[in-house]
Structure 1
């Protein structure tokens, strides 16, 4: 007999954001940084990317408490030449380090017009869409690559070497929301498998193999095995490109050197990233670029099949965000229980929580 899925709580984004920010502040994270990290996680939930949402709060807190993530990092530029920056994250929270890198790049954008930053000595930064989307809203085209713990085999390989190595791109789109492409180079982000395991749910076929290399739908077995690259050798090639730019070039940990967020609680992750920001006005006025983007999107949508619709990257997430901003974020009981366990304050929601 099938087991029914647990009923999630429905909680307001603002209350969840404040609660998570307070948890981080109680753990010693400065208030502005605590608000930033909480906002990035809640926004992932708002956009329907629950695998990168507040379910990550407990492991972030545990790593701070164990002294393997620095809650008060001194993020600084260690080398600079023209529009090229090398940034050391001082083992800070990934969101804090990444946002600081974005700000440092924008400081230089008026004179350099294109700025690239290598980032080393960082940690898991959550959803790359959070940073890229905001940069696009400031009038820039953005690429953000990050490496990750070894959870994926190289194409034709036997042992895990590469991470799911996320790739994020965002660009302003005139009077529309920015186009935002945020994707793992695996068939699926490993965070979705982690979330399925936490909820006791199976995963679809084709997502992963177990420790023996056999296909599996068991989330726990998949976590012991390996996720698979999307598109076979093509996904592997892109993941390798990201590893080179985010880790080899920046001086960050490479491949199996990267510490696992959940399973290696005795050492920093050493995550790397590569950020490239281009000022749109270096090529054409923002207004004309926006018009061209709108025209292109309209033309793409006209190609839809009779029974379908063509979406641009980020559009579905925008729609989900509109709904959840209005109706609330569904919070799984297992995630709520984990938040209660790490918090030093009462849980402000109950089964009747709704948007006011």
Structure 2
């Protein structure tokens, strides 16, 4: 690890971040939820969605742009569905509760759909589908995002990175959890590269004039590119329909920027589809078959240039085990940013 990074303890980091959000105005339960979510992202190696978001989340709370006390309001409900108005609360809190509701309804009805509007950035979707898988459910989670990607063939941004995640329970093997942006990378990775003064690979983004770039500053003013060209564009379109249009949230260019629009509600949408894993066959049989498929895929001979076959989410799981053992690497810039946030709230900083 480069000397420009410092490894920090998971529990200490969670405790500090939770204290920050309590002083910022959230109750203890919600502060703990946000802290655990952000630190989990760092544990899994999704640093773009980890504690690097503490600064902007707290700024929006301080400005009153994000509500501090919202629990969400039920707009419409059936035995297998619910639409929630998030009241412009923190997306992590709303999405956590939304998935809990979806799992509970799916347990009772077999299938459940939960939509959230008037939400905000909800962090790492894998956290929510992991929860469903742990409760013996198969889940799909989506969210939309501020406009940063042109439709395939276009040169003006319309769609966001519009990620989706799925979770599937296994038996003796680890649950399968997959999480991806429909752009080549999540925009947060460009933001993190800018904060850390790092170049980005060619192919991630283009400048506002349409030129390929390795400069994260130019990329932030430009557009990200859809993964797989027209295929990523097609996926981003569907995620926009499910997260934005279906829920009544904002969509495309009508979603406020997390970082730039500090006087506007984001009105992001989230969508969760959950089904019991025993919907068609006994749970034990389903899990046995999942284990069989996992083991067979794992033992497929590796192609030239590859050392092993990874299951979806397996790399993140390995990172989690490693970082729980030796600590979470944070750049000097992120440490300084967290220290400044703590200073803003009169909190001692435990990592320097």
8 Å CA contact 2:190–2:220 kept in 1: the answer is: yes
The aligned counterpart of 1:253 is 250
8 Å CA contact 1:259–1:268 kept in 2: the answer is: yes
8 Å CA contact 1:170–1:181 kept in 2: the answer is: yes
The aligned counterpart of 1:329 is 328
8 Å CA contact 1:180–1:313 kept in 2: the answer is: yes
Unaligned runs of 5+ in 2: none
Which structure 2 residues correspond to residues 1-356 of structure 1 after superposition, within 5 A?
A: 6-305=3-302, 308-343=307-342, 344=345, 345-350=347-352
TM-score (structure 1 length as normaliser)? 0.95
8 Å CA contact 2:133–2:175 kept in 1: the answer is: yes
Write the deviation string for residues 158-193 of structure 1: whole angstroms up to 9, x where unpaired. 211000001100111111221111000000111110
Looking at structure 1, the residues matched to 4 and 41 of structure 2 have their Cα atoms a distance apart, in angstroms, of: 20
Write the deviation string for residues 292-350 of structure 1: whole angstroms up to 9, x where unpaired. 01100111122132752111111111111001001110111100111111112011113
**Cα displacement (A) at 1:5:** 5.8
C-alpha RMSD of matched pairs (Å): 1.3
Looking at structure 1, the residues matched to 101 and 70 of structure 2 have their Cα atoms a distance apart, in angstroms, of: 15
**Cα displacement (A) at 1:248:** 0.4
8 Å CA contact 2:173–2:294 kept in 1: the answer is: no
Unaligned runs of 5+ in 1: 351-356
Q: Which runs of 4+ in 1 moved over 6 A?
A: none
**Cα displacement (A) at 1:81:** 2.7
Q: Secondary structure at the match of 2:208?
A: coil
Looking at structure 2, the residues matched to 95 and 131 of structure 1 have their Cα atoms a distance apart, in angstroms, of: 9
Looking at structure 2, the residues matched to 174 and 268 of structure 1 have their Cα atoms a distance apart, in angstroms, of: 42
8 Å CA contact 1:230–1:236 kept in 2: the answer is: yes
Looking at structure 2, the residues matched to 215 and 346 of structure 1 have their Cα atoms a distance apart, in angstroms, of: 43
Deviates more, 1:105-114 or 1:292-301: 105-114
**Cα displacement (A) at 1:6:** 4.9
Looking at structure 2, the residues matched to 117 and 92 of structure 1 have their Cα atoms a distance apart, in angstroms, of: 17
Looking at structure 1, the residues matched to 27 and 88 of structure 2 have their Cα atoms a distance apart, in angstroms, of: 15
8 Å CA contact 2:103–2:137 kept in 1: the answer is: no
**Cα displacement (A) at 1:290:** 1.2
Q: Secondary structure at the match of 2:158?
A: strand
8 Å CA contact 2:209–2:222 kept in 1: the answer is: yes
The aligned counterpart of 1:354 is none
